Structure 1
């Protein structure tokens, strides 16, 4: 059985890389592990912080646990670089834990894609910073008016 094509597909241009990054942001902001996992190959390899997983089932398990811990999760991704079948992004997301403490997580991801546009490799380095609720700047999915807007580093 062949995998469905997930456009845009490599080799990426600036325009198609931007579309791919926004599609990833939109999917992750659904907080639906099953939906997010469909963007990855059945044998996709991930490094997420200090966790290594392979395959969609493991991705669903990782994301399910993530969004059970990280409440009110809201993400912003930004294209950093692209070449051929690879894209690099930087991102920030905010969430709160069960005790009500808000967090801003900063990170970088390296993505590699197959010819059909599915991600076969994802490597994510992430650091977390405690923030006060009043310091939040990511409130839900990105509104249409903010698509393509660069976010501050701190």
Structure 2
């Protein structure tokens, strides 16, 4: 829809890029694919690891499958770099599979925005690492932004 918009709009400053990153973190932590889709243009293109998507219908389907598999999902995103209409993000998230095995996924995302503030391109690369439940960073009741993440963990 041509009248859709999602501030802040490009060109980004450090502050507005940070706002976009934390808004995305909050949205994805809801695990509500129907709501998350509206941060993207209707024809948004994605590469998520080895999966290529285009459009909101495919995004919703992908996210539903993702969050049904990745149980206990908790995500943190941090601003890595930005330009006028692009933002690079580093992220970490934890989840467990149907057997109860915990995983931490580390990765980078490359985002490109349309002038209306909706994301028109998202590329993600990530790696999953098995962790023990005792190694979890993101536990119930803990805000993901208060967790101290140091380089010694990775």
Q: Give TM-score, length-normalised by structure 1.
A: 0.93
Judging changes above 3 Å, is the alpha-carbon distance between structure 1 residues 140 and 113 closer, same or farther for their aligned structure 2 residues?
farther
**Paired residues for 1:2-151 under 5 Å:** 2-139=2-139, 143=143, 146=146, 151=149
3-state SS of paired residue (2:36): helix
Q: CA shift at 1:2, angstroms?
A: 1.5
Q: CA shift at 1:124, angstroms?
A: 0.1
Q: CA shift at 1:95, angstroms?
A: 0.1
**Is there any run of 5+ residues in structure 2 with no aligned partner, and where?**
none
CA RMSD of aligned residues (A): 1.7
User: Whose helix proportion is higher, 1 or 2?
Assistant: 2
Structure 1 runs (4+) deviating above 4 angstroms are none
**Is there any run of 5+ residues in structure 1 with no aligned partner, and where?**
none
Which moved further from structure 2: 134-143 or 26-35? 134-143
Q: CA shift at 1:140, angstroms?
A: 5.3
Judging changes above 3 Å, is the alpha-carbon distance between structure 1 residues 118 and 142 closer, same or farther for their aligned structure 2 residues?
farther
Q: Give TM-score, length-normalised by structure 2.
A: 0.93
